[in-house]
Structure 1
Amino acid sequence: MIEMERLAHRGLWNEATEKNSRVAFERAFAAGFGVETDLRDHAGTVVISHDPPGGATEPELSFEDFLALYRRCDASGTLALNIKADGLSVRVHQLLKKYQLGRYFVFDMAIPDMLAYSKLGMRCFSRHSEIEIPTLLKNFSPYSPIEGIWLDSFSSIWYSTDLVREHLASGLDVCLVSPELHGRDPQPWWDELRTFLETTPPDSDPRPGRLMLCTDFPNEF
């Protein structure tokens, strides 16, 4: 059986208003889950925010607050850092080093920005979906920054578990995006995923976090 880490999408929230909040992150860390969250800049600071802050809406947490919370909670799960704005690589790198965070990956940035993260030695994932092909994969270039795949499906699960196996066999980590993130019932696909996990022998590579699932309902899988 292959192991899979669960990532709480914007934390472990009970109400939509709690997404990307301190309490949602605290719950996720306490439960032992990894977390997916969104990074932007606001007033010269890297902040946790899915949408551009503005008007009366101020971000609850800076990225540094978030990392300090991770350490204070003695968390150990993977952090999936969705980069929502260009030009953050140096500040994000400095803060990850300050808090000695190694279990993370960055994704969703523009390709030129991805190269900036890669040059700083950061772990970058490339998107793969029914409308996007992975960019700069290792087998295309020895200089590829890609260490993993963010495997998404906007309208339906378009891929088979054979594609997941293929990415894993090539040495890439894979984070699967659960269907409810796009408003669909996850249960049919979860059943298929459970079968895949139960029938796939463990990889010879012992690293944790090789296969991940980003979900709104990490307690239910």
Structure 2
Amino acid sequence: MAAISRAFCHGYGLETDVRDHQGDVVISHDPSPSDYGVKMKHASSPVEVEWVLRKAISHALIGDQAEWAKKPNLKIPLAINIKSDGIGSMIIKALENIDIGKFPWFAFDMSVPEMVSYIKLSIPVFTRHSDIEKFPVLYDQAHGVWLDSFSWPVWYDNKDIKEHLAYGKYVCVVSPELHGHSAEKVESVWRSIHDSGLFRRGFLL
């Protein structure tokens, strides 16, 4: 929770993994051993999404750290990485009682059948576009694009980003260091994007 709270306090959006665990939606990348009936002495229990976000948002909106929250047009995106199927309705329920007006959220990385169900539930979704996923699925229905590159050099250029923006899509570019690329390579990508003037509304990092 501390990391999420710090991000919100400083006006940074974030990405977090969400899955189901014993009837709740929790923040966790991997399944808990207890989901498979395995007992581990020092295993930590996954934390419920609603509890974490409620605490983190409450902390971010109070005290000296809250100056950014007074800016009416500032929005802090929350990217929810879906790690298990069948939890769309559970996510809606977990978030419906939290004041997330300044924290617009979207879901991504779910299976294609799940993506269809999320769209039917009116959940904002981002579709993936990468050197492997060359044709973004359900592009017209998606709110935005999760732009990624598993190879180097990155396959996309600023023209690709501009085209997505021109279609009215939000664009979230995955930073290359997540795939093990050097700081110099990462800087070259961000420098190119920065110099092109793409840092504007609709563009996410």
TM-score range, shorter chain: 0.7 to 0.9
Q: Hey, what does 2:56 align to over in structure 1?
A: 70
Distance across 2 between alignment mates of 1:43 and 1:60: 10
Identity %: 41
Distance across 2 between alignment mates of 1:25 and 1:192: 26
Distance across 1 between alignment mates of 2:113 and 2:188: 38
Q: Hey, what does 2:123 align to over in structure 1?
A: 122
CA offset digits 1:2-48 (Å, max 9, x no partner): xxxxxxxxxxxxxxxxxxxx222122122211110000111111110
By percentage of residues, which structure has more helix? Answer: 2
Question: What is the correspondence of 1:127-146 to structure 2 with a 5 Å cutoff?
Answer: 127-132=128-133, 133-138=135-140, 144=141, 146=142
Distance across 1 between alignment mates of 2:16 and 2:192: 28
- Structure 1 gap segments, 5+ residues each: 1-21, 139-143, 214-221
Whether the aligned pair in 2 keeps the contact of 1:175 and 1:212 (CA below 8 Å) is: yes
AA aligned opposite 1:134: P
**SS of the residue 2:159 aligns to:** helix
Greater Rg over alpha carbons, structure: 2
Question: What is the correspondence of 1:93-172 to structure 2 with a 5 Å cutoff?
Answer: 93-101=92-100, 103-132=104-133, 133-138=135-140, 144=141, 146-156=142-152, 157-172=154-169
Between 1:171-180 and 1:48-57, the stretch displaced more is 48-57
Distance across 2 between alignment mates of 1:27 and 1:105: 20
CA distance 1:154–1:81, change in 2 (3 Å): same
> Does 2:198 align with 1:212?
no
> Does 2:21 align with 1:42?
yes
Distance across 1 between alignment mates of 2:145 and 2:126: 5
- Structure 2 gap segments, 5+ residues each: 34-38, 62-68, 70-74
> Does 2:26 align with 1:27?
no
RMSD over aligned Cα atoms: 2.0
Distance across 2 between alignment mates of 1:60 and 1:120: 25
